[in-house]
Structure 1
Protein backbone atom coordinates (compact mmCIF):
# COMPACT_ATOMS: atom_id res chain seq x y z
CA UNK A 1 0.00 0.00 0.00
CA UNK A 2 1.36 3.40 -1.02
CA UNK A 3 1.16 6.28 1.41
CA UNK A 4 -0.66 9.34 -0.03
CA UNK A 5 0.66 12.90 0.32
CA UNK A 6 -1.29 13.59 3.52
CA UNK A 7 0.65 14.11 6.73
CA UNK A 8 -2.17 12.25 8.49
CA UNK A 9 -2.06 8.96 6.59
CA UNK A 10 -4.48 6.39 7.97
CA UNK A 11 -4.27 2.87 6.55
CA UNK A 12 -7.33 1.66 4.64
CA UNK A 13 -9.87 -0.39 6.53
CA UNK A 14 -9.41 1.22 9.93
CA UNK A 15 -12.26 3.72 9.64
CA UNK A 16 -14.72 4.62 6.91
CA UNK A 17 -14.20 7.80 4.91
CA UNK A 18 -17.11 10.17 5.49
CA UNK A 19 -18.05 13.17 3.35
CA UNK A 20 -19.48 16.10 5.29
CA UNK A 21 -20.46 19.73 4.93
CA UNK A 22 -19.23 22.24 7.51
CA UNK A 23 -20.64 25.74 8.00
CA UNK A 24 -18.02 27.96 9.62
CA UNK A 25 -19.37 31.26 10.95
CA UNK A 26 -16.55 33.80 11.10
CA UNK A 27 -15.87 37.46 11.72
CA UNK A 28 -15.60 39.10 8.30
CA UNK A 29 -12.10 40.55 8.34
CA UNK A 30 -9.07 40.39 6.05
CA UNK A 31 -7.16 37.10 6.14
CA UNK A 32 -9.87 34.92 7.70
CA UNK A 33 -10.38 32.79 4.59
CA UNK A 34 -6.61 32.39 4.23
CA UNK A 35 -6.37 31.12 7.82
CA UNK A 36 -9.20 28.61 7.34
CA UNK A 37 -7.83 27.33 4.03
CA UNK A 38 -4.29 27.35 5.47
CA UNK A 39 -5.43 25.07 8.29
CA UNK A 40 -6.65 22.53 5.74
CA UNK A 41 -3.53 22.86 3.60
CA UNK A 42 -1.02 22.61 6.46
CA UNK A 43 -2.57 19.39 7.74
CA UNK A 44 -3.13 17.72 4.37
CA UNK A 45 -6.94 17.88 4.47
CA UNK A 46 -8.78 18.25 1.17
CA UNK A 47 -11.49 20.82 0.44
CA UNK A 48 -13.92 19.42 -2.13
CA UNK A 49 -16.11 22.53 -2.26
CA UNK A 50 -15.78 26.02 -0.78
CA UNK A 51 -18.36 28.78 -0.70
CA UNK A 52 -17.90 32.10 1.13
CA UNK A 53 -20.22 35.08 1.57
CA UNK A 54 -20.99 37.77 4.08
CA UNK A 55 -24.26 36.87 5.82
CA UNK A 56 -24.70 39.78 8.22
CA UNK A 57 -23.28 43.12 7.09
CA UNK A 58 -23.96 44.94 10.38
CA UNK A 59 -22.37 42.23 12.52
CA UNK A 60 -19.50 41.73 10.00
CA UNK A 61 -20.21 38.01 9.92
CA UNK A 62 -19.50 35.65 7.02
CA UNK A 63 -20.33 32.02 6.41
CA UNK A 64 -17.75 29.67 4.93
CA UNK A 65 -19.31 26.42 3.69
CA UNK A 66 -16.77 23.64 3.23
CA UNK A 67 -17.34 20.14 1.86
CA UNK A 68 -14.58 17.79 2.99
CA UNK A 69 -14.07 14.12 3.75
CA UNK A 70 -12.08 11.98 6.14
CA UNK A 71 -12.36 9.40 8.86
CA UNK A 72 -14.51 10.27 11.89
CA UNK A 73 -11.32 11.03 13.83
CA UNK A 74 -9.96 13.35 11.15
CA UNK A 75 -13.30 15.19 10.90
CA UNK A 76 -13.33 15.64 14.68
CA UNK A 77 -9.82 17.14 14.42
CA UNK A 78 -10.92 19.48 11.63
CA UNK A 79 -13.91 20.76 13.63
CA UNK A 80 -11.79 21.25 16.76
CA UNK A 81 -8.97 23.02 14.92
CA UNK A 82 -11.41 25.30 13.08
CA UNK A 83 -13.08 26.15 16.40
CA UNK A 84 -9.76 27.28 17.85
CA UNK A 85 -9.12 29.89 15.15
CA UNK A 86 -9.67 33.36 16.62
CA UNK A 87 -12.09 34.76 14.00
CA UNK A 88 -14.26 31.58 14.06
CA UNK A 89 -17.48 32.07 16.01
CA UNK A 90 -19.06 28.67 15.38
CA UNK A 91 -18.58 25.42 13.41
CA UNK A 92 -21.64 23.41 12.38
CA UNK A 93 -21.32 19.90 10.90
CA UNK A 94 -24.22 18.86 8.65
CA UNK A 95 -23.15 15.19 8.38
CA UNK A 96 -26.16 12.91 8.62
CA UNK A 97 -28.45 15.91 9.05
CA UNK A 98 -31.64 14.86 7.28
CA UNK A 99 -33.05 18.29 8.08
CA UNK A 100 -30.58 20.10 5.85
CA UNK A 101 -30.98 21.32 2.28
CA UNK A 102 -27.87 21.45 0.10
CA UNK A 103 -27.75 22.97 -3.36
CA UNK A 104 -25.19 23.97 -5.92
CA UNK A 105 -25.41 26.01 -9.11
CA UNK A 106 -23.60 25.22 -12.36
CA UNK A 107 -23.31 26.90 -15.73
CA UNK A 108 -22.65 24.27 -18.40
CA UNK A 109 -21.63 25.15 -21.97
CA UNK A 110 -22.32 22.53 -24.66
CA UNK A 111 -21.37 22.77 -28.34
CA UNK A 112 -23.23 20.78 -30.99
CA UNK A 113 -25.53 20.77 -34.00
CA UNK A 114 -28.18 18.47 -35.46
CA UNK A 115 -29.10 15.36 -33.46
CA UNK A 116 -26.52 16.17 -30.77
CA UNK A 117 -28.18 19.55 -30.23
CA UNK A 118 -31.63 17.94 -29.99
CA UNK A 119 -30.39 15.35 -27.48
CA UNK A 120 -28.71 18.03 -25.34
CA UNK A 121 -31.98 20.00 -25.27
CA UNK A 122 -33.99 16.89 -24.37
CA UNK A 123 -31.68 16.06 -21.46
CA UNK A 124 -31.60 19.68 -20.30
CA UNK A 125 -35.41 19.67 -20.20
CA UNK A 126 -35.43 16.40 -18.21
CA UNK A 127 -33.01 17.94 -15.68
CA UNK A 128 -35.04 21.20 -15.56
CA UNK A 129 -32.15 23.34 -16.80
CA UNK A 130 -32.60 26.95 -17.84
CA UNK A 131 -31.07 28.12 -21.09
CA UNK A 132 -28.91 31.16 -20.34
CA UNK A 133 -27.31 31.56 -23.78
CA UNK A 134 -27.98 29.92 -27.12
CA UNK A 135 -26.55 30.08 -30.60
CA UNK A 136 -26.75 27.96 -33.72
CA UNK A 137 -23.94 25.73 -32.46
CA UNK A 138 -24.01 26.02 -28.65
CA UNK A 139 -26.03 26.29 -25.43
CA UNK A 140 -25.18 27.49 -21.95
CA UNK A 141 -27.39 25.81 -19.37
CA UNK A 142 -28.01 26.83 -15.76
CA UNK A 143 -28.66 23.94 -13.40
CA UNK A 144 -29.35 24.07 -9.68
CA UNK A 145 -29.60 21.02 -7.45
CA UNK A 146 -27.64 18.52 -5.46
CA UNK A 147 -24.00 17.96 -6.36
CA UNK A 148 -24.92 14.48 -7.62
CA UNK A 149 -27.57 15.89 -9.94
CA UNK A 150 -25.02 18.31 -11.40
CA UNK A 151 -22.42 15.54 -11.76
CA UNK A 152 -24.95 13.30 -13.53
CA UNK A 153 -25.94 16.03 -16.00
CA UNK A 154 -22.31 16.94 -16.73
CA UNK A 155 -21.48 13.27 -17.37
CA UNK A 156 -24.35 13.05 -19.87
CA UNK A 157 -23.17 16.21 -21.65
CA UNK A 158 -19.55 15.01 -22.12
CA UNK A 159 -20.23 12.88 -25.22
CA UNK A 160 -22.58 15.56 -26.59
CA UNK A 161 -19.92 18.29 -26.77
CA UNK A 162 -19.30 19.61 -23.25
CA UNK A 163 -17.08 22.68 -23.58
CA UNK A 164 -16.91 24.29 -20.14
CA UNK A 165 -18.32 24.01 -16.60
CA UNK A 166 -18.46 26.63 -13.86
CA UNK A 167 -19.76 25.60 -10.41
CA UNK A 168 -20.53 27.74 -7.38
CA UNK A 169 -19.84 25.28 -4.59
CA UNK A 170 -22.31 23.87 -2.09
CA UNK A 171 -24.67 25.99 0.00
CA UNK A 172 -26.39 24.25 2.92
CA UNK A 173 -29.08 25.33 5.37
CA UNK A 174 -31.31 23.56 7.90
CA UNK A 175 -35.00 23.13 7.21
CA UNK A 176 -37.56 24.73 9.52
CA UNK A 177 -37.19 27.67 11.85
CA UNK A 178 -34.03 26.55 13.66
CA UNK A 179 -31.02 28.80 13.03
CA UNK A 180 -27.35 28.13 13.40
Structure 2
Protein backbone atom coordinates (compact mmCIF):
# COMPACT_ATOMS: atom_id res chain seq x y z
CA UNK A 1 0.00 0.00 0.00
CA UNK A 2 1.41 3.38 -1.04
CA UNK A 3 0.90 5.73 1.93
CA UNK A 4 1.59 9.34 1.14
CA UNK A 5 0.85 12.64 2.81
CA UNK A 6 -2.20 14.46 1.47
CA UNK A 7 -3.14 18.09 2.06
CA UNK A 8 -6.79 18.92 1.49
CA UNK A 9 -8.75 22.15 1.82
CA UNK A 10 -12.36 21.92 2.92
CA UNK A 11 -14.58 24.96 2.40
CA UNK A 12 -17.39 24.88 4.96
CA UNK A 13 -20.24 27.04 6.22
CA UNK A 14 -19.03 28.98 9.25
CA UNK A 15 -21.38 27.26 11.72
CA UNK A 16 -20.95 25.87 15.24
CA UNK A 17 -20.13 22.16 15.28
CA UNK A 18 -18.72 21.88 11.73
CA UNK A 19 -15.16 21.27 12.95
CA UNK A 20 -16.43 18.57 15.30
CA UNK A 21 -18.37 16.83 12.50
CA UNK A 22 -15.39 16.92 10.13
CA UNK A 23 -12.88 15.68 12.70
CA UNK A 24 -15.39 13.07 13.94
CA UNK A 25 -15.68 11.69 10.41
CA UNK A 26 -11.93 11.11 10.34
CA UNK A 27 -12.01 9.37 13.72
CA UNK A 28 -14.97 7.12 12.89
CA UNK A 29 -13.31 6.04 9.66
CA UNK A 30 -9.94 5.41 11.31
CA UNK A 31 -8.21 8.18 9.33
CA UNK A 32 -5.54 10.15 11.17
CA UNK A 33 -5.40 13.94 11.09
CA UNK A 34 -1.75 14.95 11.25
CA UNK A 35 -2.56 18.66 11.18
CA UNK A 36 -5.67 20.82 10.91
CA UNK A 37 -6.02 24.58 10.66
CA UNK A 38 -9.27 26.49 10.40
CA UNK A 39 -9.92 30.13 9.67
CA UNK A 40 -12.07 32.57 7.78
CA UNK A 41 -12.00 32.33 3.99
CA UNK A 42 -12.16 35.08 1.41
CA UNK A 43 -15.95 34.70 1.29
CA UNK A 44 -18.03 35.91 4.24
CA UNK A 45 -19.85 33.09 6.01
CA UNK A 46 -17.39 30.42 4.83
CA UNK A 47 -14.35 28.99 6.59
CA UNK A 48 -11.39 27.11 5.15
CA UNK A 49 -10.03 24.02 6.86
CA UNK A 50 -6.65 22.73 5.75
CA UNK A 51 -6.18 19.10 6.78
CA UNK A 52 -3.02 17.03 6.44
CA UNK A 53 -3.53 13.27 6.53
CA UNK A 54 -1.59 10.19 5.48
CA UNK A 55 -2.88 7.30 3.43
CA UNK A 56 -3.26 5.83 -0.01
CA UNK A 57 -5.24 7.32 -2.91
CA UNK A 58 -8.26 5.10 -2.18
CA UNK A 59 -8.39 6.41 1.38
CA UNK A 60 -8.24 10.00 0.10
CA UNK A 61 -11.12 9.28 -2.30
CA UNK A 62 -13.16 7.87 0.60
CA UNK A 63 -12.43 10.94 2.74
CA UNK A 64 -13.60 13.25 -0.05
CA UNK A 65 -16.84 11.29 -0.56
CA UNK A 66 -17.58 11.21 3.16
CA UNK A 67 -16.84 14.91 3.60
CA UNK A 68 -19.38 15.80 0.91
CA UNK A 69 -22.03 13.98 2.96
CA UNK A 70 -21.65 16.59 5.72
CA UNK A 71 -24.30 19.22 5.01
CA UNK A 72 -22.07 22.23 5.80
CA UNK A 73 -19.23 21.11 3.50
CA UNK A 74 -19.27 23.24 0.35
CA UNK A 75 -16.13 22.06 -1.45
CA UNK A 76 -13.21 19.65 -0.96
CA UNK A 77 -9.93 20.37 -2.79
CA UNK A 78 -6.93 18.02 -2.94
CA UNK A 79 -4.18 20.64 -2.67
CA UNK A 80 -1.35 18.12 -2.77
CA UNK A 81 -2.36 17.01 -6.28
CA UNK A 82 -1.32 20.47 -7.56
CA UNK A 83 1.56 22.88 -7.09
CA UNK A 84 0.89 24.42 -3.68
CA UNK A 85 2.38 26.75 -1.11
CA UNK A 86 2.29 25.38 2.43
CA UNK A 87 3.49 26.98 5.63
CA UNK A 88 3.45 26.42 9.34
CA UNK A 89 4.36 28.68 12.23
CA UNK A 90 6.10 27.50 15.38
CA UNK A 91 6.98 29.24 18.61
CA UNK A 92 9.87 27.54 20.39
CA UNK A 93 10.91 28.50 23.91
CA UNK A 94 14.53 27.55 24.33
CA UNK A 95 16.78 27.72 27.37
CA UNK A 96 19.36 30.39 26.64
CA UNK A 97 21.51 31.86 29.34
CA UNK A 98 23.10 35.14 28.23
CA UNK A 99 26.41 33.41 27.39
CA UNK A 100 24.63 30.90 25.05
CA UNK A 101 22.56 33.50 23.24
CA UNK A 102 25.01 34.28 20.42
CA UNK A 103 25.01 30.59 19.41
CA UNK A 104 21.19 30.42 19.49
CA UNK A 105 20.99 33.68 17.51
CA UNK A 106 23.23 32.11 14.86
CA UNK A 107 20.73 29.26 14.43
CA UNK A 108 17.83 31.73 14.36
CA UNK A 109 19.49 33.85 11.65
CA UNK A 110 20.36 30.81 9.53
CA UNK A 111 16.68 29.81 9.44
CA UNK A 112 15.46 33.37 8.86
CA UNK A 113 13.52 33.04 12.09
CA UNK A 114 13.12 35.72 14.73
CA UNK A 115 13.29 36.20 18.46
CA UNK A 116 9.87 37.34 19.72
CA UNK A 117 10.52 37.26 23.48
CA UNK A 118 13.56 37.43 25.73
CA UNK A 119 13.43 36.22 29.31
CA UNK A 120 16.17 36.06 31.94
CA UNK A 121 17.10 32.49 30.91
CA UNK A 122 14.98 31.80 27.82
CA UNK A 123 14.30 33.00 24.30
CA UNK A 124 11.12 32.48 22.30
CA UNK A 125 11.89 31.85 18.65
CA UNK A 126 9.30 32.27 15.88
CA UNK A 127 9.90 30.27 12.72
CA UNK A 128 7.72 30.11 9.62
CA UNK A 129 8.16 27.58 6.83
CA UNK A 130 7.27 24.13 5.67
CA UNK A 131 7.12 21.30 8.21
CA UNK A 132 10.64 20.09 7.33
CA UNK A 133 12.09 23.52 8.11
CA UNK A 134 10.28 23.61 11.46
CA UNK A 135 11.52 20.10 12.34
CA UNK A 136 15.10 20.96 11.34
CA UNK A 137 15.01 24.08 13.53
CA UNK A 138 13.69 22.06 16.48
CA UNK A 139 16.50 19.51 16.06
CA UNK A 140 19.16 22.23 16.07
CA UNK A 141 17.69 23.91 19.15
CA UNK A 142 17.34 20.67 21.17
CA UNK A 143 20.91 20.74 22.52
CA UNK A 144 20.19 24.10 24.20
CA UNK A 145 17.10 22.71 25.97
CA UNK A 146 13.66 23.25 24.50
CA UNK A 147 11.16 24.26 27.20
CA UNK A 148 8.00 24.50 25.05
CA UNK A 149 6.88 24.20 21.45
CA UNK A 150 3.63 25.48 19.98
CA UNK A 151 2.92 24.76 16.30
CA UNK A 152 0.02 26.00 14.22
CA UNK A 153 -0.29 23.12 11.82
CA UNK A 154 -0.05 23.47 8.06
CA UNK A 155 -1.98 25.99 6.04
CA UNK A 156 -1.80 25.87 2.25
CA UNK A 157 -3.16 27.07 -1.07
CA UNK A 158 -2.66 26.41 -4.76
CA UNK A 159 0.21 28.34 -6.36
CA UNK A 160 -0.27 30.96 -9.06
CA UNK A 161 -3.47 32.52 -10.34
CA UNK A 162 -5.63 29.41 -9.95
CA UNK A 163 -8.04 29.67 -7.00
CA UNK A 164 -9.73 26.75 -5.31
CA UNK A 165 -12.83 28.64 -4.26
CA UNK A 166 -14.32 29.25 -7.70
Corresponding position of 1:40: 26
- 1:64 paired residue number: 49
- Counterpart of 1:139 in structure 2 is 123
Question: Which moved further from structure 2: 88-97 or 149-158?
Answer: 88-97
Q: Residue 123 in 1 paired to residue 90 in 2?
A: no
Runs of 4+ in 1 over 3 A off after TM superposition: none
1:57 shift after superposition: 5.8
Which residue in the other structure is 1:77 paired with? 62
| Separation in 2, partners of 1:112, 1:26 | 43
Unaligned runs of 5+ in 2: none
User: CA deviation digits over 1:19-59, x for unaligned, max 9?
Assistant: 0101000111111111000000111111000100121463x
Question: SS of the counterpart of 1:35?
Answer: helix
Give 1:112's aligned residue. 96
Distance 2:2 2:159 in 1: 27
Per-residue deviation at 1:159?
1.4
> Within 5 Å, which residues of 2 pair with 1:148-159?
148-159=132-143
What displacement does 1:113 show? 2.0
- Alignment RMSD, CA only? 1.4
Size of the aligned set, in residue pairs, is 164
Question: 2: distance between equivalents of 1:136 and 1:52?
Answer: 35
Which ranges in structure 1 are unaligned for 5 or more consecutive residues? 1-14
The whole-number CA distance in structure 1 between the counterparts of 2:12 and 2:145 is 41
- Give 1:165's aligned residue: 149
Residues 22-37 of structure 1 aligned to structure 2 (within 5 Å): 22-37=8-23
How far the C-alpha of 1:135 sits from its partner, in A, is 2.7
Question: When the two structures are superposed, what TM-score results if normalisation uses the length of structure 1?
Answer: 0.86
Q: TM-score scaled by structure 2?
A: 0.93
User: Cα distance, 1:115 vs. partner?
Assistant: 5.3
Residue deviations 1:120-165 (CA, integer Å, cap 9, x gap): 1111110011110013421101110001100110111111111111
